[in-house]
Structure 1
Amino acid sequence: MKHVMQLLEKHEIQPYEIALVHWENEELNYTKIEGQSKLHRGEIWLNSELDLDDAILEKFAFSNALCLSVKLAIWEASLDKFVESIQSIPEALKAGKKVKLSHEEVMQKMGELFALRHHINLSSDFLITPDFYWDRENLEELYDKTCRFLSITRRVKVMNEKLQHCMELTDLMRNHLTEKRALRLEWMIVILITIEVMFELGRVFFLIK
């Protein structure tokens, strides 16, 4: 496995942080038995009587669910990091303090949220079973049971709830900054009109004089 990872590292694009990769992992003990493969009390039982091709497919079904859990854990860590970056905003708003975020920074954070939401709900297999298992019922059962054991569905639901809360907060910030910008523009217009009126009054005064 280490040898394969070393080969793949040469072709990585935007890799995850090394510390995060080592921290987020899933491990399940396995043993070979005589009889049907299954997940039993958090331990993988592999049928030792299968031929090589079928045995590889069953291992793939288990590992597919495990890697899905690791991928979700990576994104959970990303969301936790994002939440930490904005956790001071509600308290600042509550205390009536000025929030030190520009309009561009708020839009950037909204982009981060949309990207994370897209990864979880549209470009991954968290919400549906992959097509690979549609005509392989025995493998689908192993995959689904492992996903349930790793609480994939519940974790995705929790992440979406957190994302929704973060979206509401960033949307509130965007509206607040938009209103401040509109108010600033209104004051600029008022000042310009006032200056124009003063010039007009001055011109009229000098003409009369």
Structure 2
Amino acid sequence: MSAIPTASTLESLTARAILLGRYLDPRRLAPFEPLATNPLVVAVPGGGRAVLLRSGAVVLFGVEQLEEATFIEQLRPLVKEPLVQTEYENLVLTVDPGRSEGVERNRVVLTDTETARLQVVADILGKSVLLAEQESRVARAFDRIEPLADRLQRHGRGGSNARTLIRHIGEALAIQQDMVGRGEIGDKPEVIWERHDLERLFLNLEAEYEIRERQIALERKLTLINDTAGTLLDLLQSKRSLRVEWYIVILIVVEIVLTVYELFFHGIPTH
């Protein structure tokens, strides 16, 4: 089994987070020997460790480029809804048992590279790449919904396709599901509840990557998309209901006209 060198032989290493797809099923990772769980940590053949997250992200520690490519290819069959363009983020870790842990000049200082610490770092990096991908999805959704809102403002009518509006609402709900359900944005990693001494490191990293602020900003935008699409859908349905009511009125008027015509030209039938 390969392992990362100890702090006495290593001054720094690179952590690399890669978002591969919408979901990574850890239950199908039987070929990889687990070093820890929640989140799952495995040894990478050739050296280094990897933390595998349900959100579809994998975070590599001390893995060389060739070994990374080989390992990622092994994971691809286990990724559901793979991304066409992957999101990634790098972070330099400085290992120094004589310094306090925290963020210093675009790098993170750790006292050692024990698995629990790497799980905390991986949790934040995994959330960061997930948020980056969700931010891109929300930006694209805004580009599609903006012309509909502009048409409503200028002409008093929005979209004419209910399926398109429902698709906008569904996409917003899917993004929220990815963030809250699979990504667990806003939740602390399970290892924190067992290792309270790592909470300070977690909070420092969470603040550095602005995880909560980015989550709140996304939720506001998703709410706006939902409200806009929902309002346009309600207007469209009201318009259709009004149209049906007019059809009914027209049918009634036609029936009355035909009855009057029948009475006028043929007289009232006698018995």
TM-score range, shorter chain: 0.7 to 0.9
Q: Aligned pair 1:61/2:120, yes or no?
A: yes
1:40 equivalent to 2:103? Answer yes
Provide the residue aligned with 2:180 in structure 1.
121
Judged with a 3 Å threshold, the aligned counterparts in structure 2 of structure 1 residues 131 and 40 are, in CA distance, closer, same or farther, namely closer
**5 Å matches for 1:86-101?**
86-96=145-155, 98-101=157-160
Structure 1 CA distance, aligned partners of 2:70 and 2:202? 27
2:231 corresponds to 1:172 = yes
| Bigger proportion of residues as strand | 2
Aligned to 1:10: 77
The correspondence for 1:197, drawn from 256, 262, 268, is 256
Q: Does 1:85 align with 2:152?
A: no
Q: 1:16 aligns to what SS in structure 2?
A: strand
Q: Choose 92-101 or 129-138, whichever is displaced more.
A: 92-101
Give 5+ residue unaligned stretches, structure 2.
1-67
Match of 1:29, SS? strand
**Quick one: distance in 2 between partners of 1:36 and 1:136?**
19
Residue correspondences, number:
200
Q: 2:202 aligns with which of 134, 143, 146?
A: 143
Matched position secondary structure for 2:194 = coil
User: What's the counterpart of residue 90 of structure 2?
Assistant: 27
In structure 2, C-alpha distance between the alignment counterparts of 1:37 and 1:125, rounded to whole Å: 28
Residue identity matched to 2:78: H
Counterpart of 2:253 in structure 1: which amino acid?
T
Q: Distance in 2 between matches of 1:36 and 1:125?
A: 31
Q: C-alpha separation between the residues in 2 aligned to 1:88 and 1:150?
A: 32
Aligned counterparts, 1:101-116, within 5 A = 101-116=160-175
Give the whole-Å Cα distance in 1 for the aligned partners of 2:214 and 2:205: 14
Shift of 1:193: 0.7
Q: Match of 2:108, as an amino acid?
A: I
Return the offset for 1:141.
2.5
Structure 2 SS opposite 1:134: helix
Greater CA deviation, 117-126 or 162-171? Answer: 117-126
TM alignment of 1:152-167, pairs within 5 A: 152-167=211-226
Within 1, Cα distance between the matches of 2:195 and 2:133? Answer: 29
- Deviation, structure 1 residue 107: 1.4
**Cα distance change of structure 1 residues 39 and 2 upon mapping to structure 2, 3 Å threshold:** farther
Higher helix share: 1
Q: Spell out structure 1 runs of 4+ moving beyond 4 A.
A: none
1:161: how far off? 1.1
Shift of 1:37: 6.1
What CA RMSD, in Å, does the superposition of the two structures yield over aligned residues? 2.0
Alpha-carbon distance in structure 2 between the residues aligned to 1:12 and 1:40: 32
CA distance in 1, matches of 2:162, 2:178: 25
Deviations 1:52-92 (A, max 9, x none): xx622212211221111101111111111111111112221
Whole-Å Cα distance in 1 between the matches of residues 132 and 236 of structure 2? 33
Instruction: Give, in whole Å, the separation in 2 of the partners of 1:97 and 1:61.
Output: 51
Q: 2:21 matched to which residue of 1?
A: none
AA aligned opposite 2:260:
L
Q: Deviations over 1:181-202 (max 9, x none)?
A: 0111011101111121122123
Q: Which residue of 2 aligns with 1:51?
A: none
